[in-house]
Amino acid sequence: MINVKERERRQRTFVEQLKKSGASLVGFGDVSVVKSELTNKFPIAVALAVKFDGAVVDNLHNHEPAFHKHQLEVRAFMERLVNVAADFLQEWDYGYEIAPSKVINSNEELSRFQEFSYKTAATCAGLGWIGKSDLLVTPEFGPRVRIAAILTDAPFKTAEPVTEGRCGNCTLCVDACPNQAIKGAAWQRGTAREDLLDAYVCNQKRLDYIPAIGRKYACGRCIRVCPVGRGNNYAPQRKRDTRQRDHHRCAKPMPHRKARSHRQGRLSDGQAFELCL
């Protein structure tokens, strides 16, 4: 049995080491609210987020293959990060289970896919809310993150959960979806995914590209247009190129005068945004 000081030291060390290893966000959530065999055994979730490169996301409508490649790289990076976290938990003799991640390759798989949701872990850990797009939206990086979770019985201190969305009157992702898959509803804890997103339409429309390009289309329009956290996730070497764009929170490459239209709105916490489309 370890004392409180040692427990806190371990938690601090854990976060520091994960951040050194490349985690953009690390949170701890009480997931016992999700009633399942898994969460009874492991009631604490370690939620991890790795940010995407903002320049790749900004340009995904022009260069989808680069976004696809970037997603694969970040996914592989996240797998390594999860292993770093698992090594620490093992060293300290805590029980854990790595919540499985799966690439959905058919709508049959989508309907069978009942694994523990990373997004639940992330909201329980206070990392962000579920946007109208059904993506996790973090204040720091918006939905431009890859997330993962490890469930554990380690007695880590947990954060205040996020229980409702902060999208306010924004509908940019709803309007940007080429397949009308996003329904425009606001999320709160307990909202069913199908009330936010027609995941079957999103999945199928992207699967339809397989004969043409040999793989599922990455799309990502809903990620690209979200105004939350824009400008926070540019790779350092690209910062110079994007400075003006960040100033305007502009979704289109400069020059700004070429923007076809502007959209303004307000998130529920009062933060105003303007996007040039």
Instruction: Name the residues that contact ligand SF4, by CB under 6 A.
Output: 131-133, 137, 167, 170-173, 176-177, 179, 181-182, 202, 205, 219-222, 225-226, 228
CA distance 62 to 44: 41
> φ, ψ for residue 27 (rounded to 5)?
-140, 165
Nearer to ligand SF4, 121 or 167 (CB): 167
Nearer to ligand SF4, 43 or 131 (CB): 131
Nearer to ligand SF4, 84 or 277 (CB): 277
Residue 158's nearest CA partner among 133, 130, 128, 124 is 124
Quote the least distance from Cβ 17 to ligand SF4, whole Å: 31
Nearer to ligand SF4, 46 or 222 (CB): 222
CB atoms within 10 A of CB 22: 15
CB atoms within 10 A of CB 213: 12
Quote the least distance from Cβ 224 to ligand SF4, whole Å: 8
Quote the least distance from Cβ 266 to ligand SF4, whole Å: 10
Shortest Cβ contact with ligand SF4: which residue?
131
- For residue 28, list its beta bridge partners: 46
Nearer to ligand SF4, 11 or 268 (CB): 268
Quote the least distance from Cβ 225 to ligand SF4, whole Å: 6
Quote the least distance from Cβ 184 to ligand SF4, whole Å: 8
Residue showing tokens 């399942």: 36
Question: Are residues 124 and 30 in contact, defined by beta-carbon separation less than 8 angstroms?
Answer: yes
Quote the least distance from Cβ 227 to ligand SF4, whole Å: 6
Across 242-270, b (16+ Cβ under 10 Å) vs e yields beebeebebbbbbeeeebeeebebebeee
Q: How far apart are the first and last CA of the chain?
A: 57
Nearer to ligand SF4, 7 or 75 (CB): 75
Query: Backbone dihedral region of 231: left (phi > 0), alpha (psi from -120 to 50 degrees) or beta?
Result: left
